[in-house]
Amino acid sequence: MRRGLRSGADLIASASVAERDAFLSSLEEVDGALLALPYLFEFWAHPHQLPPEGDWRSWVILGGRGAGKTRAGAEWVRQMVEGSRPLDKGAARRVALVGETLDQVREVMIFGDSGIMACSPPDRRPEWLATRRMLRWPNGAEAVACSAHDPESLRGPQFDGAWVDELAKWKRAQEAWDMLQFTLRLGTHPRVCVTTTPRNVGVLKDLLAARSTVVTRAPTESNRAYLASSFLDEVRARYAGTRLGRQELDGDLLDQAEGALWSMEALEAARCSVVPVFDRIVVAVDPTASSGKGSDACGIVVAGVVTDGPPQDWRAVVLEDCTVQGVSPLVWARRAITAMERWGAHALVAEVNQGGDMVEAVLRQVDPMVPVVRVHASRSKAARAEPVAALYEQGRVAHYGAFDALEDEMCQMTRLGYQGTGSPDRLDALVWALTDLVIARAAEWRVPRVRTLRR
């Protein structure tokens, strides 16, 4: 196949008219081949829609909305059960179709536009036995509709395969998934295909971490040929660059620690698209002790505050994340001072735990007149972050756009400490910036009063 092409259909579409006509003519010479072509999924499929090779037990298809997950699941069931009559050796005899509710199994997985019935050729289309909630193929294979809403209903049956749809949104996901595992006891190698938009839920995270799990991923755009262009234009214009867009359109699993000080939903609600006139802007730096590829990042965050009225009315906005990694001190110093110039910042807030006077000295090599506010960490990262998290809970901090890497770190910080990998350098810089702008200055704020003279 030519480089960059993803399927047989891509190859034919990119061929010349003569090549395309020759291909179609060759199919006419084979009895039924042209009629069968629309149902040969391997010819049309995107790579993420085809089962990976290897000895896996669970295949998880993570994708954005409209990425073709349902079609992939339906075609996998077809592949599992179809064959010559009677059942071929190794073919699945009994498959579970598990959705959140029976209505969703029927309307999406079975009778949906990309469901099993729509994907099946006329001579191999199964019969729907409504009273038994079951599909039955001409070769005798069966697929049973099961509801994740009632995990106990999975105690009795047994299967040699299962298609699980939208696992990450089930209300009783862990219970239903556990019960399903005990039903997969038929055949020589029971397997599960899971099609889902990713969400930060434990059952999905555990499944992805299992050694017997394989994963394919795709954004919504991977299936753009079958989606309305107006839909793509609208959702990208509205959600591009947001955490919701990364999850629902790009198919990214956005991690969030249990008991995190920040939630993805709260950060999504904290977006702003207009920058006010600030009373003070700072650039905060959390310096790294070393440079090189394996070193921690140097956190650099820009934020501003409007201080009209008493402190409870102050509003801060995070403006930019300029964090760098693997660079020399002079490079991050230039990056921080350039950010100051770009935003018209009033001061540079720098943590001096690591490096002490050296941090300020490096900054002054770039700009001898730079106003530096030295801060020293005497408490843990979590203890310093809690008051800042409280500002977010009060709706007093907004983000000017989306800062994916920074927000990922925020969603991994708990009261017990940072639950992510590495060091939360971006978060540290954010905490220093908002502490200087709001918390420290609010502690110094006094209500102006008219002094009266005693008689």
Sign of the alpha-carbon dihedral angle for 259, 264, 266, 270: positive
Which one of 180, 202, 237 terminates a domain? Answer: 237
Q: Domain tally for the chain?
A: 2
Q: Is 187 left (phi over 0), alpha (psi -120 to 50) or beta?
A: left
Residue ending a domain, among 202, 237, 272, is 237
Residue 42 has what pLDDT? 77
Tell me the residue range of the domain where 400 lies: 264-444
In a domain, 23, yes or no: no
CB-based contact 44:9 (threshold 8 Å) = yes
Whether 252 is covered by a domain: the verdict is no
Task: Determine whether 9 is exposed, middle or buried from the number of CB atoms within 10 Å of its CB (0-12, 13-18, 19+).
Answer: middle
Residue 64's CATH number:
3.40.50.300
Q: Could you tell me which of 43, 148, 141 has the C-alpha nearest to residue 97?
A: 148
Check whether residue 325 and residue 437 sit in a common domain: yes
- Residue 19 domain-assigned (yes or no): no
The pLDDT value recorded for residue 12 is: 62
Same domain, 440 and 291: yes
pLDDT, position 241: 63
Does 250 reside within a domain? no
187 within domain boundaries:
yes
- Token pair recorded at residue 23: 């291909």
Same domain, 230 and 282: no
Q: Are 436 and 329 contained in the same domain?
A: yes
**Domain presence at residue 73:** yes
For residues 281 and 349, state if they share a domain.
yes
| CB atoms closer than 10 angstroms to residue 198 | 24
- In angstroms and rounded to an integer, the radius of gyration of the C-alpha atoms of the chain is 29
Q: Do 326 and 203 have their domain in common?
A: no
Shared-domain flag, residues 211 and 341: no
List the one residue out of 439, 284, 288 whose CA is nearest residue 374.
Answer: 284
H/E stretch holding 95 reads strand 94-99
- Phi-psi map region of 136: left, alpha, beta (phi>0 left; psi -120 to 50 alpha): beta
pLDDT of the chain, 455 residues: tens digit per residue: 444 445 555 666 566 677 666 766 666 555 566 666 677 777 777 788 888 888 899 999 988 887 789 999 999 999 888 853 344 445 668 999 999 999 999 999 999 988 999 999 888 899 999 999 999 998 899 999 999 999 998 988 899 999 999 998 888 889 999 999 999 988 888 999 999 988 777 788 889 989 999 999 887 777 776 677 788 777 777 776 666 677 777 766 666 677 889 988 888 889 898 999 999 999 999 988 666 666 778 999 999 999 988 888 999 999 999 999 888 899 999 999 999 999 999 999 999 876 667 888 999 999 999 999 999 888 999 999 999 999 999 999 999 988 888 988 999 899 999 988 788 999 999 999 999 999 998 887 765 555 555 55
* Residue 8: predicted pLDDT: 59
Q: Same domain, yes or no, for 224 and 270?
A: no
Q: Which of 60, 50, 71, 80 is nearest to 159 (CA)?
A: 80
Domain boundary among 237, 253, 282: 237
* CATH number of residue 284's parent domain: 3.30.420.240
**Residue 35 included in any domain:** no
Taking the C-alpha atoms of residue 432 and residue 284, their distance in angstroms, rounded to an integer, is: 6
Same domain? For 203 and 336 the reply is no
Query: Are residues 296 and 405 both part of a single domain?
Result: yes
- Distances in Å between the alpha carbon of 118 and those of 39, 115, 192? 10, 6, 21
The total of other beta-carbon atoms located within 10 Å of residue 134's CB is 16
301 and 339 together in one domain: yes
**Does the residue 9 lie in any domain?**
no
Assess whether 91 and 217 both reside in one domain: yes
Q: Please state, in angstroms and rounded to a whole number, the distance separating the CA atoms of residues 383 and 377.
A: 10
Q: What is the pTM of this model?
A: 0.58
